[in-house]
């Protein structure tokens, strides 16, 4: 019998993950927890700053190409770093988390840096850094009747990529009285911070960094 895996990102990200593991014998269940509303930023605006900070894959995918050759960027995630390299930016440093990245930024750059982010962030960058909202994240507010029925049958794995998504999913599972049906589920979290959300009610939570 196929192992079931609940994917908990945006529709696009969930589809990309399905494609990546298409050769594996999994039953993928897509719970599209988030969608985005983009507020485009022009390259001319970015060019006013010495360095750029990017902490999300969605932001990396949706900013313009570098407004000047080798503009320095400080980034979370290797995947985002590669996207930005291909857009002409010079990756000064990439980290596994926002907290780690924050510790690496020299204080002499604070007043000349731009941080392009979503509306909600879990790590505030140092005082002096200009933050501009690039997109708004809209979280799923309810599960369909079809989803509730399927989840009651049990899920082998739930994959968790962000703290806010984990909080959203847990809220939906509790509201629909699904936690008891998933007591044997293994929850795979990208960080300890994300894991802590599900550890409140789930016994089998493991952390797989990055």
Could you read off the pLDDT of 155-184 as tens digits, one per residue?
999 999 888 899 999 999 999 999 999 999
Q: What is the pLDDT of residues 124-137, one digit of tens each?
A: 999 999 999 999 99
CA distances from 164 to 30, 152, 167, 171 (A): 17, 23, 5, 11
Section 29-42 average pLDDT: 95
pLDDT band at 21 (very low <50, low <70, confident <90, very high): confident
Environment class of residue 23 by beta-carbon count within 10 Å: exposed (0-12), middle (13-18) or buried (19+)?
Answer: exposed
Predicted model pTM: 0.79
Question: CA 127 to CA 159: how far, in whole Å?
Answer: 34
């Amino acid at each position: 019998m196929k192992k079931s895996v609940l994917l908990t990102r945006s529709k696009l990200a969930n589809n990309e993950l399905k494609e990546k593991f298409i050769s594996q014998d999994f039953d993928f269940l897509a719970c599209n927890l988030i969608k985005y509303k983009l507020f485009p930023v022009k390259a001319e605006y970015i060019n006013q700053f010495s360095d750029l900070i990017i902490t999300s894959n969605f932001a990396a995918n949706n900013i313009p190409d570098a407004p000047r050759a080798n503009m320095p960027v400080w980034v979370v995630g290797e995947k985002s770093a590669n996207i930005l390299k291909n857009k002409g930016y010079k990756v000064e440093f990439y980290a596994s988390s926002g907290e780690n990245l924050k510790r690496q930024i020299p204080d002499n750059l604070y007043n000349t840096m731009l941080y392009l982010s979503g509306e909600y962030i879990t790590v505030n960058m140092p005082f002096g850094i200009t933050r501009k909202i690039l997109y708004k994240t809209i979280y799923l507010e309810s599960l369909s009747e079809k989803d509730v029925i399927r989840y009651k049958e049990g899920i082998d794995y739930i994959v968790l990529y962000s703290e806010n998504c984990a909080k959203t999913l847990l809220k939906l599972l509790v509201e629909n009285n699904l936690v008891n049906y998933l007591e044997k589920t293994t929850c795979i979290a990208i960080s300890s911070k994300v894991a802590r959300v599900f550890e409140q009610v789930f016994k089998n939570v493991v952390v797989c960094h990055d």
